[in-house]
Amino acid sequence: MSFRAALPLLLLAALAAHAVVRHVVPRVAGRAEPASAPAGASALLSDGTGGGVAPYREPDSAGVSRAVDAALLKGRYLLGGGSGLRVSRTYRYYDVEGATGEEVARSLRATGPRLTGIEAFAVTEVLADWRMDDPDGGACAAEGLSIDLAFTVTLPRWRQPSGAPGELVLRWRSFEEGVRLHEREHQQITLAVAQGWLARGRALRGRSCDEIRRAMDEEQRLRVEPELRRLQGQYDAEAQAGKRAGPVWTVS
């Protein structure tokens, strides 16, 4: 499973009456909508009864906002991984140049990452892969399931010129920390969703290996991917609306 979340580019001109917000709603690569279960599939992951995977139902905005809060809190304690979650991170950087706020803004526009043509300050991508070793017998040990999460984070790096104004240096440090926090919280949401996926899979004790594999794959399509899209999209929307911390570069 691959997933990508982008931090949209938000530049404010000093004393400007309006700001243009370019927003990228995170989505699972290659899928616009949740996939439906194949005909005849026997889903096993649900509320613990083994009755099947119910497609993810999108709650109202207030409900999703509360779910984002819960995911951020839960994910904070999983940043280093958890029981059954193995986390790796790769950081990539793009260079930003400029000796004034306006020059830095132009460089951010010119060199920042783009998704389908949309400008962004930063991008967090994750590859998720669940695994389970086949035992010698007929039944798999579901409690031995694990999920690997490989994050790739693309961040800006300012090539600070000699003699740069101290005020600009402080602004950049604050901006850079805001970008890192935003991307870290995208990771927290992903970790919280992944832990729920893992816990539901581990509840399938006594099932055959094929049954568990099928259930985990269906869970990914019908619940995990739609939930990630919804939570990450809500988080970004609230950050742009000023309801959550989000970096803004002010041109001055």
- In whole angstroms, what is the distance from residue 4 CA to residue 117 CA? 15
- In whole angstroms, what is the distance from residue 182 CA to residue 10 CA? 13
What is the pTM (predicted TM-score) of this model? 0.75
What are the residues whose beta carbons fall under 8 Å from the beta carbon of 168, sequence distance 6 or more? 99, 100, 101, 104
Rounded mean pLDDT, 234-250: 83
Per-residue confidence band for 39, with pLDDT thresholds at 50, 70 and 90: very low
- The pLDDT tens digits for 158-185 are 999 999 999 999 999 999 999 999 999 9
Indicate the domain borders of the chain.
2-12+63-251
Residue 38 has pLDDT above 70, yes or no: no
- 82 backbone dihedrals φ, ψ, rounded to 5°: -155, -175
> Which tokens is 137 given?
């017998």
Residue 33: the pLDDT is 30
How far from the centroid of its chain's Cα atoms is residue 95's Cα? 23
What are the residues whose beta carbons fall under 8 Å from the beta carbon of 206, sequence distance 6 or more? 139, 142
Percent of the chain with pLDDT over 90: 36
Judged by DSSP in three states, 147 sits in strand
What's the chain's Rg over C-alpha atoms? 21
With beta carbons less than 8 A apart as the criterion, state whether 52 and 113 touch: no
Per-residue confidence band for 3, with pLDDT thresholds at 50, 70 and 90: low
Residue 74 has pLDDT above 70, yes or no: yes
Rounded mean pLDDT, 4-23: 37
Residue 252 has pLDDT above 70, yes or no: no
